[in-house]
Structure 1
Amino acid sequence: MALFVSLLFLFMFPLSSINGQGPPSPGYHPSSGIGSIGFNQGFRNLWGPQHQSLDQGALTIWLDRSSGSGFKSLNPYSSGYFGAAMKLQTGYTAGVITSFYLSNNEAHPGDHDEVDIEFLGTTLGKPYVLQTNVYIRGSGDGNIIGREMKFHLWFDPTADFHNYAILWNPTEIIFFVDDVPIRRYPRKSDATFPLRPMWVYGSIWDASSWATENGKYKADYDYQPFVGKYSNFKIAGCNANGAASCRPASGSPSGSMGLSSQQYAAMAWVQNHYKVYDYCQDTQRDHKLTPEC
């Protein structure tokens, strides 16, 4: 029996994972069945056009004293898989946010929904924080009710491109890093889940008031420009203006909602080793405002 348990452990958590070189294989890679698109096939510049350049399918956006930059999908979506490879700036990046996210802020100002992948800039010698977040119906506006879960990563996100994705369907939101699920946010009630169409965005901007250690460290423009690089864009979603028969995306090999046992094991490994904040576990929060906890 002991030998069986040992072999099972090594199967689910290979030595490379135990030694900190990466999580166990999720066994399924949702991005593999989705073709990449060129930036202009799915997106357009939203702001800061002079701080955005496109070269052989790779998009570069940057922030300096004068401006940051952002882009937006051509279409709104009611569900889907949305991904991009990203490479982050090295060195001092405190106060700077580099993001890839879903939102309907322009359609519902003051009352919007949002699903975020945000890299919080850092100081020299400290790792980036990847923040995932979900806002529902204006809770990201005047009445801030964030649902943050934050991670460090098992690799250096400044050394190369890695794939980051959000899967959103009527029952769940799943955040992926290189096809490894790092967080699953299930729909427990209509009041705690975004249900209105959203667009896909990316941006780089100055969030000195809160981004790095709650605003302790600000953006320092002696280090400008701050650069974010994007490539390998993937959109496989139900266009909000398209056919009602469109089938929502799934993150599991069975095509059903939820994840496989192997995917759940990989997600548990990431959360056990690299999660650094969970709003549901924050004793300073008023959890009457987040009943899903």
Structure 2
Amino acid sequence: MVSPHLSFLFMALFLSIFLILMAPSSNAQSPPSPGYYPSSKFGSIGFYQGFRNLWGPQHQRVDQSSLTIWLDSTSGSGFKSLRPFRSGYFGAAIKLHPDYTAGVITSFYLSNNEAHPGNHDEVDIEFLGTTPGKPYTLQTNVYIRGSGDGRIIGREMKFHLWFDPTKDFHNYAILWSPNGIIFFVDDVPIRRYPRKSDSTYPLRPMWAYGSIWDASSWATEDGKYKADYRYQPFVGRYSNFKLSGCSAYAPASCRPVSASPSSSGGLSQQQYSAMQWVQKHFLAYDYCKDSNRDHSLTPECWG
């Protein structure tokens, strides 16, 4: 006969195991602390201090330091930094449009397309529109010397986020240095693209851009869902702009900014662990792991 005391212990043990099994998975939690917050190292600027309208001026509004751009059936809108850079930290707080946004791209990126049409470099943060009930996809991408010459070689890594990006502003950033490119979400590194060779790395000066536009042919589930202008306008909101680094006109002595406490610019172990956690739980696509890709065109995937 089991004593009442043992019965109580068995019941307590069973309850503990049950609560552990029923606890929410780590996917519902925030990433571990990266321990270092690059955005706090760089001051914010007003929109007109660093940018100008590039296209769609009638679909762009500046209120103090914040920017609103929108897409409707007549046009989208885009903006561009006043200066080109050869390295730096480029960031903005962005709030995305809710509900039906299929086919709509909201972006913040680096490019030299206007200086080198058909043979340009580009580093992208793009939010791929979605349908109600499905999460936004944040696509990061790197193009090197030519995405418009008939051999489009993207280096896409796609993520879902651990928060709803339509509810509030969140900080998104690209740190581009001579050694690597790091993508950040709220100071958490989500991807590092190292410089493994000059042929697979953007080395020419680039400008910072942002835009909202119709990419119905591919943006949402490979073009399955298109932009539906019954839901227009589609609005993107930007604030807390940061442009810090070496402009194309800076002296050769200009020192590239760092992503970590180390002056080398690499990630600390704590930052790297946070990045691994994000990639374990929220990575939706990695071009290096796509067996349908021709990886002779992306030699950096070989190790």
TM-based fold match above 0.5: yes
The farther-off stretch of 16-25 and 54-63 is 16-25
d(CA) in 2 for partners of 1:129 and 1:84? Answer: 18
Partner of 1:118, secondary structure, is strand
The AA in structure 2 aligned to 1:48 is G
d(CA) in 1 for partners of 2:139 and 2:28? Answer: 21
What's 1:169 paired with? 177
Aligned-pair CA distance for 1:252: 1.1
What's 1:137 paired with? 145
What's 2:32 paired with? 24
What's 2:4 paired with? none
Matched, 1:231 2:239: yes
d(CA) in 2 for partners of 1:266 and 1:140? Answer: 35
Query: In 2, are the aligned partners of 1:180 and 1:267 still within 8 Å (CA)?
Result: yes
Aligned-pair CA distance for 1:55: 0.8
d(CA) in 2 for partners of 1:41 and 1:19? Answer: 39
Query: In 2, are the aligned partners of 1:117 and 1:133 still within 8 Å (CA)?
Result: yes
Gaps of 5+ in 1: 1-14
Query: In 2, are the aligned partners of 1:119 and 1:128 still within 8 Å (CA)?
Result: yes
Count of residues in correspondence between the two structures: 279
Q: What is the aligned-residue RMSD (CA, Å)?
A: 1.3
Please list, as runs of the form range in 1=range in 2, the aligned pairs for 1:202-281 lying within 5 A after superposition. Answer: 202-281=210-289
Q: Greater CA radius of gyration, 1 or 2?
A: 2
Aligned-pair CA distance for 1:291: 0.4
TM-score by structure 2 length? 0.90
The AA in structure 2 aligned to 1:244 is A
The AA in structure 1 aligned to 2:281 is H
Aligned-pair CA distance for 1:140: 5.0
What's 1:117 paired with? 125
What's 2:72 paired with? 64
d(CA) in 1 for partners of 2:192 and 2:27? Answer: 25
Q: Please point out which of 167, 174, 194 is paired with 1:159.
A: 167
d(CA) in 1 for partners of 2:91 and 2:79? Answer: 14
d(CA) in 1 for partners of 2:170 and 2:224? Answer: 28
Partner of 2:28, secondary structure, is coil
How much identity, in percent, do the aligned residues show? 80
> What's the CA shift string for 1:91-133, capped at 9, x where partnerless?
1000000000000000000000000000000011100000000
What's 1:107 paired with? 115
Partner of 1:288, secondary structure, is helix
What's 2:87 paired with? 79
Gaps of 5+ in 2: 1-22
Aligned-pair CA distance for 1:141: 4.6
> What's the CA shift string for 1:198-226, capped at 9, x where partnerless?
00000000000000000000000000000
Query: In 2, are the aligned partners of 1:136 and 1:192 still within 8 Å (CA)?
Result: yes
Higher helix share: 2
Query: In 1, are the aligned partners of 2:127 and 2:139 still within 8 Å (CA)?
Result: yes
Matched, 1:201 2:222: no
Q: Please point out which of 272, 286, 290 is paired with 2:294.
A: 286
Aligned-pair CA distance for 1:257: 2.6
